[in-house]
């Protein structure tokens, strides 16, 4: 059996089945022959299976139902099951802007990339033309750019993963996965295409705001930061510089989230001390972005952090 060009790994859990139906239809609308694509739907133990709503599409997909295990396990399962040369992750309530995404597929067909990048948008974008840059090594790209964490924002070659998988049991697992993926990539092509449509829904994981969720999010981010820092010590000079920019960016985001999610100055100072012990604070004086430089200056002193707490209420 011929290897598909690309496998779409669609993760699903307790969503309106019509959203999943729309997601799959957006894949079927792409410029791919049936033998070029593989669609794997991983149902993470939903209360009700969506298969009744997918009767007209069931011959187009591979449906796998597993006990509820979380997004990381679902994606890892999809990676192990897929046959495609390339992989695209899609959350079951999102979909592809098909006409725009087709340009990214052309890049895959014509340029033998390891990664093709594009943007996520909360609007169903129209095809307004297409430009791209590359190829560039993944590490070099990371040294020059802020990396967008979402694993859904990339088409990537399966072989590039090697043994890389998502860490289970944590929130925002993409923060740890994506930089490691880019460090493995030799040929990255970048686009400004808004090829992926995501829905903002109340009750989704990105909208949770209770204290337990806040605590887990911050704790998981801290764990990712520390693991990436330990990893950086094992890399070459060039790779370490690439990963360091991502670590610095993630550290800034972590401090920002502590302020905005907890509004607790005492807790902020405790976390700052932990970052100091790990060599992650103060933030290094780097010319990354204006936002980074502004935040670094204010966060470097206790008085500046108090000001940030007032400004970010």
Q: Is there a contact between 139 and 213 (Cβ–Cβ < 8 Å)?
A: no
- Residue 103 above 70 pLDDT? yes
Q: Give 90's pLDDT tier (boundaries 50, 70, 90).
A: very high
Whether residue 268 is predicted with pLDDT greater than 60 in this model: the reply is yes
Confidence of residue 202 (pLDDT cuts 50, 70, 90): low
Q: Out of 200-204, 271-275, 279-283, which region has the weakest mean confidence (pLDDT)?
A: 200-204
* Closest listed residue to residue 78, CA positions, set 166, 154, 16, 138: 166
pLDDT at 204: 52
What is the band of 128 on the pLDDT scale with cuts at 50, 70, 90?
confident
Residues of the chain above pLDDT 90, percent: 92
Q: What is the mean pLDDT of residues 235-252?
A: 97
The CB-side HSE value for 184 (13 A sphere, CA atoms) comes to: 17
Report whether pLDDT(147) > 80: yes
pLDDT given at position 200: 80
The predicted structure's pLDDT at residue 129: 79
- As a whole number of angstroms, the distance between CA 157 and CA 165 comes to 14
Mean pLDDT of all residues in the chain?
95
Contact 307, 294 (CB under 8 A): no
**Does residue 37 have a pLDDT over 70?**
yes
Q: Is a pLDDT exceeding 80 seen at residue 209?
A: no
What is the structure's pLDDT at 208? Answer: 53
Please give the full DSSP string across 137-188, using - where no structure is assigned. -HHHHHHHSPPP--GGGEEEEGGGGTT--PPTT-SSTHHHHHHHHHHT-S-E
Q: Any residues with CB less than 8 A from the CB of 191 and at least 6 apart, and which?
A: 103, 104, 107, 116, 117, 118, 130, 131, 132, 133
- Indicate if the pLDDT at residue 205 is higher than 70: no
Running DSSP on this structure, what letter comes out for residue 4?
P
* pLDDT at residue 203 tops 90: no
The pLDDT, as a whole number, for residue 121 is 94
Arch. (CATH architecture) of 6-197: Alpha-Beta Complex (3.90)
Q: Give mean pLDDT, residues 17-31.
A: 98
Q: Which residues of 250-269 are buried (b: 16+ CB within 10 A; e: fewer)?
A: bbbbbbeebbeebeeeeebe
- Give residue 256's pLDDT: 97
Q: Give the pLDDT band (50/70/90) at residue 4.
A: very high
Segment 68-97 shows an average pLDDT of: 98
* pLDDT at position 125: 78
CA 268, chain centre distance (Å):
26
Cα torsion 256, 261, 71, 57: sign: negative
- Taking the C-alpha atoms of residue 158 and residue 85, their distance in angstroms, rounded to an integer, is 6
Segments making up each domain of the chain, as ranges: 6-197, 209-311
Q: Over 70: is that where the pLDDT of 110 sits?
A: yes
């Amino acid at each position: 059996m011929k290897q598909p060009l690309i496998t779409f790994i669609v993760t699903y859990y307790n969503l309106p089945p019509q959203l999943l139906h729309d997601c799959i239809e957006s894949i079927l609308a792409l410029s791919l022959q049936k033998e070029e694509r593989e669609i794997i739907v991983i149902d993470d133990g939903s209360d009700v299976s969506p298969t009744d709503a997918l009767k007209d599409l069931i011959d187009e997909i591979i449906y796998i139902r597993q006990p509820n295990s979380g997004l990381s396990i679902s994606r890892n399962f999809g990676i192990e099951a897929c046959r495609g040369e390339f992989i695209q992750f899609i959350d079951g309530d999102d979909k592809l802007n098909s006409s725009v995404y087709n340009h990214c597929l052309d890049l895959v067909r014509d340029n033998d990339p390891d990664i093709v990048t594009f943007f996520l948008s909360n609007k169903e974008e129209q095809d307004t033309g297409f430009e791209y840059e590359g190829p560039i090594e993944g590490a070099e790209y990371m040294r020059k750019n802020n990396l967008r964490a979402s694993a859904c924002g990339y088409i990537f070659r399966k072989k590039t993963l090697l043994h890389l998988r998502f860490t289970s049991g944590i929130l925002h697992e993409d923060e740890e996965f994506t930089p490691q993926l880019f460090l493995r990539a030799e040929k990255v092509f970048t686009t400004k295409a808004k090829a992926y449509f995501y829905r903002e829904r109340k009750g989704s994981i990105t909208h949770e705001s209770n204290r337990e969720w806040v605590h887990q999010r911050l704790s998981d981010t801290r764990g990712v930061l520390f693991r990436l820092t330990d990893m950086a010590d094992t890399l070459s000079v060039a790779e370490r510089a690439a990963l360091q920019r991502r670590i610095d960016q993630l550290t800034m985001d972590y401090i920002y989230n502590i302020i905005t999610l907890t509004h607790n100055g005492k807790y902020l100072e405790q976390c700052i001390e932990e970052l100091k012990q790990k060599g992650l604070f103060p933030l290094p004086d780097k010319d990354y972005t204006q936002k980074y430089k502004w935040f670094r200056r204010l966060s470097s002193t206790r008085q500046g952090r108090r000001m940030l707490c007032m400004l970010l209420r």
